[in-house]
Chain A
Amino acid sequence: MDDYVVTVLSNIGMISFIALSAYLLLITGEISFGQQAYFGLSAYAAGAATSMFGLPIWAAVLIGACTAGLMAMAVGALTLRLSGLYFSISTLAFAEMMRLILLIVEVQVEVDGEMVGPDGANGFHDIRWMFERDISLTEFMLFIYGLLALVLIALLLVERSRLGSVFRMLGSDDLLTEMQGLNTVRYRILAAGMAGAIAGIGGALYAHFTTYVEPQFFNVMLGVHALAYGLIGGLGTAFGPLVGVAIDIGFLEAVRFIQGYRMIVFGGLVAVLLIFMPRGILDEERVHRLKALFSRGNHARAERH
């Protein structure tokens, strides 16, 4: 594979994390415009871990995910009272706050005679873990997809479990959830933390893949795209947001004549899609029907008994 294809595939993989993160909150009924804050925070934290403190990559990803997750839980706790539009705007406010703070942060240390670290508006250069270890782009891509598979499996297991049902119940009616004797506060903070950590993994990988991060990348556009992927792909299954990412980056990147008109096409596509399928292509109903289709044989056998 040539480098271009590897880069595009890697981007699809890394953006999938933030799409899954926004998706997790969407199924609990909250729209977040601010998942890019956790993606960015983790990119900085993980980048600092390897380049400034010489930690291994797995530790960096862990640190990034934990930082992002904890921050998301703290923000989740602060915004517990809010829902709907109010919650969405608060996530937007927080994300922009985070981005503007990262523009000011300057913490540099000397490593091998060179200054390394976040440098305010100039961004965070020289996260050279890949060069120092002589890791090829393809190897790193496999690493990305390995982690993505782990996260996806974890999410699919969560969806099958009781926790997943609680999340979906929260999404359809939080009063009902409370009446079941469930602690909605705990579940909302848990969902926020999990979503933050998933975005964090993506951010940590991104920092090491590009070797350079700047706050400008984590602007609202990233967050809105993350959100749109779930809404395009569908909210019925964790594969939904991945379908959304594949459609946007895979398809629109591939079709050359759309270049320069990409947002016009993408914007129109999503707007029309939201009219006809407010919960995306793979919504709950279609997922249910697909599942029934695949397990028809089993059902028939079960009915005979």
Chain B
Amino acid sequence: MIDFVQNTVDGIMFGSSYALLAIGFTIVFGVMRRINLAFGATIMLGAYAGTWLHVHYQVHVLVVVLTTVVCTVLVGIYVERLCFHAVRRDAALASMVSSFVVWMQLEEVAIHLLPERTYSFPSLIVAGSFELGPFLLRGEQITMLVLAAVMVGALHLLLHRTRYGLALRAISESPRAAAYMGIDAAWVMLCAFALVSLVGAVAGYAILATDEQITPFFGLWATFKGLIAMMLGGMGSLPGAILGGLLLGVVEAHAQWYLGNEYKDLSAYVLLFAMLVLRPGGLLGQRILGREELAFRRV
């Protein structure tokens, strides 16, 4: 029983980082009805730029944080221009494939930047672990949980209390009606990309600082965890992304504990596949509309 509770708690801690990654996917999907597969690689390249400065010039940690965030946003804008803005509006899948190949591109750039397999990643704060009754809590993970809660709160305010948030929600509701209201969709989308890159960079930094290392597999990892978490919760839903992230974290933690290490990732994919087969809309997602479904089919 103690194991079960401890695993669940660990799962929620890990899950909060998945939730932060899922937010990046869900906002882009909500606004554009497209999936940005290069999201993880975008964060990775940004973090690699920060690590590069750290490795070669031993700069202060704050500079690393700043470089990571700024570079991630710049790369995010590059991805948006190349894979989303330039690709025809009715070609959602072309965008997805395009973002996939750009992912490969970004990954190779990152590997050219820092060719070794792993690099240590500087942590902003040093938090120890402490015990609460029979349970062990890690400081970094609590930081992550708090960070996730703060960012979700901030995003919620941004979406529901500002003019920009209104424009963003209007586009996600109906792009055509939003255009009639004089909303510049291209600009809102570019800003949305910059915004999710920012969220992603912060999430990515927190995750990497917890791991204390960075490898070229981070892009793949971040993309898949975020994507799975979003699909579990329901595409385009902010609460869904959080719920999906936490669910994924908890399921993985239990699978790892009770079945073994090799079952951790497997459980995530089994969960995703089962969810798609049984309830494609995710836990909180709307049912897939026939109209949208058709729009997705074009290559």
Which residues on A are within 8 Å of B, measured CB to CB?
Answer: 26, 29, 31, 33, 78-79, 81-86, 88-90, 93-94, 96-97, 100-101, 103-104, 121, 171, 173-175, 220-221, 224, 227-228, 231, 235, 260-264, 266-268, 270-272, 274-275, 278-279
Q: Give B254 Cβ to nearest chain A Cβ, in Å.
A: 17
| Segment from B128-136, B139-147, B151-159, B263-271 that makes contact with A | B263-271
Residues of B within 8 Å of A270, CB to CB, are 97-98, 101
Q: Given contacts A97-B273, A267-B102, is CB(A279)–CB(B299) below 8 Å?
A: yes
Q: Which 3 A-B pairs have the closest CB atoms?
A: A84-B296, A267-B105, A263-B108
Q: Is the CB of B296 within 8 A of A235?
A: no
Q: Given contacts A82-B276, A221-B104, is CB(A103)–CB(B262) below 8 Å?
A: yes
Q: Is the CB of A263 within 8 A of B294?
A: no
Residues of B within 8 Å of A81, CB to CB, are 277, 280
Residues of B within 8 Å of A260, CB to CB, are 112
Q: Is the CB of B277 within 8 A of A224?
A: no
Q: Is the CB of B97 within 8 A of A89?
A: no
Residues of B within 8 Å of A175, CB to CB, are 294
Q: What would 18 A/B residue contacts be, using CB atoms closer than 8 Å?
A: A31-B96, A81-B277, A81-B280, A85-B96, A86-B276, A93-B272, A93-B273, A100-B269, A174-B297, A220-B220, A227-B97, A261-B108, A263-B107, A264-B105, A267-B108, A275-B98, A278-B91, A279-B299
Residues of A within 8 Å of B107, CB to CB, are 263
Please measure, in the bound complex, the distance between the C-alpha atom of A278 and the C-alpha atom of B93, giving whole angstroms: 10
**Which residue in chain B gives the minimum CB-CB distance to A224?**
B100
Chain B interface main SS type: helix
**Which residue in chain A gives the minimum CB-CB distance to B33?**
A85
Q: Is the CB of A231 within 8 A of B97?
A: yes
Residues of B within 8 Å of A263, CB to CB, are 104-105, 107-108
Q: Give A258 Cβ to nearest chain B Cβ, in Å.
A: 11
Q: Is the CB of A84 within 8 A of B299?
A: no
Q: Is the CB of A31 within 8 A of B299?
A: yes
Please measure, in the bound complex, the distance between the C-alpha atom of A88 and the C-alpha atom of B228, giving whole angstroms: 13
Please measure, in the bound complex, the distance between the C-alpha atom of A266 and the C-alpha atom of B98, giving whole angstroms: 11
Most buried by A among B94, B231, B295: B94
| Segment from B55-63, B80-88, B207-215, B240-248 that makes contact with A | B80-88
**Choice from B104, B109, B277, B294 contacting A90 with Cβ under 8 Å:** B277
Within 8 A of A (CB), among B67-123: 82-83, 86-88, 91-94, 96-98, 100-105, 107-109, 112
**Choice from A85, A94, A266, A271 contacting B35 with Cβ under 8 Å:** A85
Q: Is the CB of B269 within 8 A of A97?
A: yes
Query: 18 additional contacts, CB 8 Å, given A79-B277, A85-B35, A271-B101?
Result: A26-B299, A82-B280, A84-B293, A85-B235, A88-B93, A90-B272, A90-B273, A90-B276, A90-B277, A100-B262, A100-B266, A221-B104, A224-B104, A264-B105, A266-B104, A267-B103, A270-B97, A275-B82
Q: Is the CB of B293 within 8 A of A83?
A: yes
Residues of A within 8 Å of B227, CB to CB, are 89
Q: Is the CB of B96 within 8 A of A267?
A: no
Please measure, in the bound complex, the distance between the C-alpha atom of A220 and the C-alpha atom of B221, giving whole angstroms: 12
**Choice from A84, A96, A264, A274 contacting B269 with Cβ under 8 Å:** A96
Residues of A within 8 Å of B98, CB to CB, are 270-271, 274-275
Please measure, in the bound complex, the distance between the C-alpha atom of A270 and the C-alpha atom of B91, giving whole angstroms: 15
**Choice from A84, A101, A227 contacting B297 with Cβ under 8 Å:** A84
Q: Is the CB of A31 within 8 A of B231?
A: no
Residues of A within 8 Å of B276, CB to CB, are 79, 82, 86, 89-90, 93
Q: Is the CB of B96 within 8 A of A100?
A: no
Most buried by B among A93, A104, A270: A93
Residues of B within 8 Å of A262, CB to CB, are 108
Instruction: Let me know if B288 is at the binding interface, CB within 8 A.
Output: yes
Please measure, in the bound complex, the distance between the C-alpha atom of A29 and the C-alpha atom of B93, giving whole angstroms: 10
Please measure, in the bound complex, the distance between the C-alpha atom of A85 and the C-alpha atom of B292, giving whole angstroms: 11
Q: Is the CB of B97 within 8 A of A93?
A: no
**Which residue in chain B gives the minimum CB-CB distance to A270?**
B101
Please measure, in the bound complex, the distance between the C-alpha atom of A68 and the C-alpha atom of B100, giving whole angstroms: 25
Please measure, in the bound complex, the distance between the C-alpha atom of A97 and the C-alpha atom of B228, giving whole angstroms: 13
Residues of A within 8 Å of B109, CB to CB, are 264
Q: Is the CB of A100 within 8 A of B93?
A: no
Q: Give A168 Cβ to nearest chain B Cβ, in Å.
A: 12
Q: Give B290 Cβ to nearest chain A Cβ, in Å.
A: 8
Q: Give A234 Cβ to nearest chain B Cβ, in Å.
A: 11
Residues of B within 8 Å of A26, CB to CB, are 299
Please measure, in the bound complex, the distance between the C-alpha atom of A52 and the C-alpha atom of B97, giving whole angstroms: 39
Please measure, in the bound complex, the distance between the C-alpha atom of A245 and the C-alpha atom of B231, giving whole angstroms: 32
Residues of B within 8 Å of A174, CB to CB, are 294, 297
Residues of A within 8 Å of B224, CB to CB, are 96
Please measure, in the bound complex, the distance between the C-alpha atom of A279 and the C-alpha atom of B299, giving whole angstroms: 7
Residues of A within 8 Å of B299, CB to CB, are 26, 29, 31, 171, 231, 235, 278-279
Please measure, in the bound complex, the distance between the C-alpha atom of A232 and the C-alpha atom of B98, giving whole angstroms: 11
**Which residue in chain A gives the minimum CB-CB distance to B90?**
A278
